[in-house]
Amino acid sequence: MAAGGKGANQAVAAARLGGAVTFICKVGNDIFGNQAKALFEQEGIHTAHLLTDATLPSGIALIMVDKHAENVIAVASGANAALAPDDLQNIDALMDSATIILMQLEIPLETVQYVAAKAFSRGIPVMLNPAPACTLSNELLQCISIITPNETEAEILTGIKVTDIASAQQAANVLYEKGIHTVIITMGSNGSLVLHDSAFTHVPTIAVKAVDTTAAGDVFTGALAVALSQGKEVVDAAAFACKAASISVTRLGAQASAPYRHEVEGIL
């Protein structure tokens, strides 16, 4: 067993890389929920807004990794699926103090929409990792400042099959034209494609021997959020995130694979 969950992985990655992280989530009143809270606190993550569901279990996943280090994941959402807008009525002050708000799609879409609209009205940047992939409304996308799909997610969002840099550019343009100012498509060992201020940049990654790609996208996203919150330019932040993700795929597990700041800076 290992700690995981997309939001949790991103929170841990951001904390290990020097971010001041407050994590809002919902867990069950069970051993997994109690362990999760204890682990977050060990990582220095603020858990005052962590919620516990009295009846639903904590979310769990079964991860299968093939001989090419790629993974297939079956998820039982549990309490994650019960994080509702009504649970977030007291986060206005917390939101106003945030440099960036990071979300993914392992919580209800209506909750993502609620938070995104609230942040957008306050001028607070929202980063969305659109995973697990699904179709998103233009209403939601217009509230997003930064989006970080992988090739499969980009195809679901745009209808364009991403197989190389050229097709990634086409997909990124579709999202950019929907009002998202920064589109970053992650492409595994091919690094990432950044579209920012109407300019494309291909950010390569470093060559490593992959053992397990689980949570690599989460590490990338958490690292990107930290780098942007600390004032790095978008392309530099993407390069930092690529390095962090490269380290993570050399290790087994989800949260356990997230590197620390000194490890990434050692590569840089």
User: What residue spans define the domains of the chain?
Assistant: 6-267
C-alpha to C-alpha distances, 182 to 59, 149, 221, nearest whole angstrom: 31, 11, 13
pTM of the model: 0.93
pLDDT of residue 115: 97
pLDDT tens figures, 71-110: 788 889 999 999 999 999 999 999 999 999 999 999 999 9
Question: Do 128 and 148 meet the contact criterion of CB atoms below 8 Å apart?
Answer: yes
In three-state secondary structure terms, 200 is strand
- Of the candidates 53, 87, 212, 218, the residue annotated as catalytic is 218
DSSP state of 57: P
In this structure, the number of other CB atoms found within 10 A of the CB of residue 156 comes to: 15
| Residue whose entry in the numeric block shows the structure tokens 């679901």 | 156
218 is known as an active-site residue: yes
Span 6-267 CATH architecture: 3-Layer(aba) Sandwich (3.40)
pLDDT at 268: 60
In three-state secondary structure terms, 196 is: strand
**Residue pLDDT, tens place only, 103-130:** 999 999 999 999 999 999 999 999 999 9
Residue 66's pLDDT band, with cuts at 50, 70 and 90, is confident
Which of 137, 138, 181, 133 has its CA nearest to residue 154? 133
